[in-house]
């Protein structure tokens, strides 16, 4: 199979191949070819991904300190066999598969924390795969391998790279004996231009949350923005400030989405509740709180909803913390979401970020709750988005094209909190604008509400005439 898309930084390769396209009657192809068009034509492909017909995930070595490989001692597949460092030799004992279900496997068994231990020094072994939390591992961009239950990192004992060094779990320190290069997972979610950008909000806190797989199967959307990570009153991240970071319904949701080939973007903040950005006393503490969530789930992206952060001190703390997150997690996507006026947002947070040297992947506005029914919310959204583009362009010295590619829209479907009506046709208007300008993000609040009303409240339905998932289907068409 050949898959084409766009990946920044890849070297172009010219290689002839045949591409067979099945176009439905009434379809469209750029350039409007007709009976007089000369063939062959040239197709520009930004990248090519090749996979085998079997579709099975491939294995590979996990390398660590000293260039040594993670190794099953003696190539013994018995339960309890120690996991160690050893010279890389290409044997089956060093071929590991990072699964989309959170497991890491070799020789048909799973990487396991012995006896389900969570203390520093708990040894790692090979064991029958049993679905326990002792066999769950997150592999974030920072190159740690983290057991979320223990919130500890895979660690080469004593910082040694000698052959036979046992592996254990230990408090994450960022040291070389905790850094690993692992093969890609077998169920890597799509990360093309439109895939991650379209991640409707899903909230387990209210609104009879829909089954994410139902939405995925019905619409083709693969990513969700999972709301909300808050403070428990201290600098400690929890879902909604009260549900555990791991082990609860939110972790189950993430596992469900990933098992179906998708992924999630946790959103920090929201309108109500205690915010980490205010509860944490310093940028360093806030960055550590963000990192705890990143490590727990091996995240590829985070969203900071800064709608309630009017304090200059809190804004600067957030900016400085995100700079640390950027430095410690190469490749992670950072989205910042906030409210806006009809002509664009306040520029204070964007200006602070630009002055501090922080770039984010998308400055995203929420263009609703202006007040008053009967307004054309599609056109108002476009006007606010143009204002955002101009603010970002001015702050960073971008061209128009660069500014558009660093901005996004997070709408609200149906009847808003202030009585405005955002229709499916408004979503089509917004989609067309985003497609033409290649916005970095196109999402909405929320998939919980993307259902017709049959007596439910505003948290369970849109309040307008629709079929289930109509709004999601529109934005799912976004190609980036």
Report the catalytic residues: 305
3-state secondary structure of 89: coil
Angle between the 377-396 and 424-437 helix axes, to the nearest 10 degrees? Answer: 30
* 207 within 8 A of 458, measured Cβ to Cβ: no
333 beta partners: 301
* 199 within 8 A of 265, measured Cβ to Cβ: yes
Name the phi and psi angles at 162, rounded to 5: -70, 150
Query: In sequence order, which residues have a C-beta less than 8 Å from that of residue 469 and are 6 or more positions away?
Result: 215, 218, 219, 447, 450, 451
Ramachandran region, residue 26 (left: φ > 0; alpha: ψ -120 to 50; beta: rest):
left
Joined together, the tokens standing for residue 475 give 């934005």
Query: In sequence order, which residues have a C-beta less than 8 Å from that of residue 445 and are 6 or more positions away?
Result: 200, 201, 366, 410, 411, 412, 413
Helix (H) or strand (E) holding 217: helix 212-219
The strand ranges marked E within 96-199 are 97-98, 104-106, 109-113, 124-127, 146-147, 152-156, 167-170
Relative to beta strand 146-147, strand 152-156 is antiparallel
Supply the DSSP symbol for 185.
P
441 beta partners: 408
3-state secondary structure of 333: strand
Angle between the 348-356 and 377-396 helix axes, to the nearest 10 degrees? Answer: 30
């Amino acid at each position: 199979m050949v898959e084409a898309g766009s990946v920044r930084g890849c070297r172009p390769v010219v290689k002839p191949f045949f591409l067979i396209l099945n176009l439905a009657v009434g379809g469209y192809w750029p350039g409007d070819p007709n009976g007089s068009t000369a063939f062959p034509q040239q197709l520009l492909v930004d990248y090519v991904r090749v996979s085998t017909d079997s579709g099975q995930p491939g294995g590979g070595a996990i390398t660590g300190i000293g260039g040594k490989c993670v190794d099953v001692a003696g190539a013994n597949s018995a339960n309890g066999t120690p996991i160690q460092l050893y010279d890389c030799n290409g044997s089956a004992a060093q071929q590991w598969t990072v699964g989309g279900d959170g497991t890491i496997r070799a020789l048909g068994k799973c990487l396991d924390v012995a006896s389900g231990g969570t203390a520093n020094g708990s040894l790692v072994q090979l064991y029958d795969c049993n679905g326990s939390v002792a066999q769950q591992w997150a592999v974030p961009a920072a190159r740690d391998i983290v057991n979320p239950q223990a919130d500890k990192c895979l660690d080469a004992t004593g910082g040694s790279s000698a052959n036979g060094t046992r592996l254990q779990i230990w408090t994450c320190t960022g040291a070389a004996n905790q850094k690993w290069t692992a093969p890609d997972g077998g169920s890597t979610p799509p990360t093309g231009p439109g895939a991650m950008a379209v991640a409707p909000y899903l909230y387990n806190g209210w609104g009879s949350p829909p089954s994410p797989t139902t939405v995925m199967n019905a619409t083709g959307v693969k990513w969700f923005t999972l709301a909300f990570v808050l403070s428990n009153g201290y600098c400690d991240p929890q879902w909604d400030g009260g549900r555990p970071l791991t082990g609860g319904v939110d972790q189950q949701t993430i596992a469900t989405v990933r098992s179906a080939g998708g992924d999630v973007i946790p959103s920090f903040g929201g309108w109500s509740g205690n915010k980490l950005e205010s509860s944490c006393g310093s940028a360093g503490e806030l960055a550590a709180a963000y990192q705890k969530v990143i490590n727990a789930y091996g995240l590829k992206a985070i969203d900071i909803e800064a709608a309630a952060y009017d304090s200059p001190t809190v804004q600067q703390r957030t900016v400085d913390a995100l700079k640390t997150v950027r430095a410690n997690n190469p490749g992670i996507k950072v989205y910042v979401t906030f409210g806006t006026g009809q002509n664009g947002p306040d520029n204070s947070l964007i200006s602070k970020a630009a002055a501090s040297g922080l770039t984010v992947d998308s400055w995203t506005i929420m263009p609703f709750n202006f007040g008053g029914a009967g307004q054309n919310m599609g056109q108002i959204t476009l006007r606010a988005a143009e204002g955002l583009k101009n603010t970002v362009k001015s702050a960073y010295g971008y061209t128009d094209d660069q500014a558009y590619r660093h901005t996004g829209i997070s709408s609200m479907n149906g009847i808003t909190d202030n009585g405005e009506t955002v229709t499916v046709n408004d979503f089509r208007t917004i989609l067309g604008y985003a497609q033409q300008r290649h916005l970095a993000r196109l999402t909405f609040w929320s998939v919980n509400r993307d259902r017709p009303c049959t007596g439910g409240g505003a948290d369970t339905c849109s309040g307008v005439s629709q079929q289930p998932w109509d709004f999601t289907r529109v934005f799912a068409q976004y190609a980036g």
